[in-house]
């Protein structure tokens, strides 16, 4: 008997298999919990978001389109559940379609690619030189794949502030990366 893949599990969950949900939980709940804790200091909100994530998976596993990583899909749901918990909406609120479809895997943009591949590379250095408030914005948008609106809720900032900080951060990153690049070529 081979181990089922995450997609197999989602298919079984969609067919109403509770044991598959348990298996998916055992694989992913741990790291999701750790990562959510890095985004929010309130343990109750984090626990609520994680619970809602798997309840949402149970109810809408059939909507997973089978593209991309299940892990990224799960993280997309989790972070959005956290955002909506921060918004002060009741935690039991069923997950709307728009949230599920927005939670499809992150598109790996050029910036992401740089972040993914290198641990001690130029981008790391460049990110480290960003002022803290810009870093949080970059994390919420580029790394967590949130929209400016969602990032604003997560960070408790006006949407306009998030947008302008992101602009500034991108300019700074580009400036700091360009010379390094040129030097190498």
Partner 1 sequence: MDWHLGSELLDRYVTGDLDLARQAAVEAHVLTCADCQALASEQAPQPTLDEIWAGVVTATARPKLPWPLRFLQRLGLTETDAVILRSSTSLYRPWLLSLVGAFVIGVGGSMLSPTEQRAFYLLVAPLLPAITVAAAYDSTDPIRELASATPFSKLRIALLRTALAVAVALPIVLIAGLILPFVGAEAFTWLLPALTLTLLALTLLTWWNAPMTAGVVAALWLLVVGLLRSADQLTAVDTPFAQLAFAVTALLALAVLTIRITTRHAPGGYA
Partner 2 sequence: MNSQIAVLDGVTKSYNGTEVLHPTDLGFGRGVIGLLGPNGAGKSTMLRLLATAMPPSSGRIVVSGHLVTGGIAERTAARRRLSYLPQEVGIPRRMMSFGFLDYIAVLKEWKDRDTRHREVIRVLGLVGLADRRTKRVSALSGGQRRRLALAQALMGDPDLVVLDEPTTGLDPEQRASLRGILSSYANRGSVLLATHQTEDVSALCDRVIILDEGRIRFDGTVAELIRLAEGQVWVGAEANTRALSSWRTGTGEIRSLGGVPAPGSRPADVAVEDAYLLVRSEITGATKIGEVR
Contact call for residue 38 and partner 1 (CB under 8 A): yes
Contact call for residue 25 and partner 1 (CB under 8 A): yes
CB under 8 Å, gap of 24 or more: what pairs does 52-55 form? 52/81, 52/85, 52/91, 52/95, 53/77, 53/78, 53/81, 54/21, 54/24, 54/25, 54/29
Partner that binds at residue 87, options partner 2, partner 1, none, CB closer than 5 to 8 Å by kind: none
Contact call for residue 29 and partner 1 (CB under 8 A): yes
For partner 2, the binding residue among 15, 16, 34, 69 (CB under 8 A) is 16
Partner that binds at residue 19, options partner 2, partner 1, none, CB closer than 5 to 8 Å by kind: partner 2
- Please say whether the beta carbons of 181 and 171 come within 8 A: no
For partner 1, the binding residue among 4, 14, 27, 102 (CB under 8 A) is 27
* Interface pattern 44-63 for partner 1 (x via CB under 8 A): ---x--xx--xx--xx----
Q: Which residues contact 142 (CB under 8 A, 6 or more apart)?
A: 109, 111, 112, 115
For partner 1, the binding residue among 11, 14, 63, 135 (CB under 8 A) is 135
Contact call for residue 131 and partner 1 (CB under 8 A): no
SS3 57: helix
Question: Quick one: which of 144, 149, 45 has its CA closest to 91?
Answer: 45
Contact residues: partner 2, CB under 8 A? 16-19, 22
């Amino acid at each position: 008997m081979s181990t089922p893949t995450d997609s197999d599990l989602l298919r079984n969950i969609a067919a109403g298999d509770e044991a598959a949900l348990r298996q998916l939980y055992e694989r992913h709940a741990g790291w999701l919990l750790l990562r959510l804790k890095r985004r929010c200091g309130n343990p109750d909100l984090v626990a609520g978001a994680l619970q809602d994530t798997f309840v949402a998976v149970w109810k809408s596993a059939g909507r997973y389109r089978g593209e991309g990583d299940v892990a990224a899909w799960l993280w997309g749901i989790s972070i959005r559940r956290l955002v909506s918990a921060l918004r002060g909406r009741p935690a039991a609120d069923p997950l709307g379609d728009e949230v599920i479809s927005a939670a499809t895997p992150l598109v790996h943009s050029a910036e992401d690619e740089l972040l993914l591949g290198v641990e001690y590379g130029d981008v790391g250095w460049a990110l480290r030189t960003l002022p803290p408030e810009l870093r949080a914005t970059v994390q919420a948008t580029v790394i967590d794949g949130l929209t400016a609106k969602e990032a604003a809720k997560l960070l408790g900032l006006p949407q306009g502030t998030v947008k302008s900080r992101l602009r500034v951060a991108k300019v700074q990153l580009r400036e700091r990366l360009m010379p390094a690049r040129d030097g190498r070529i």
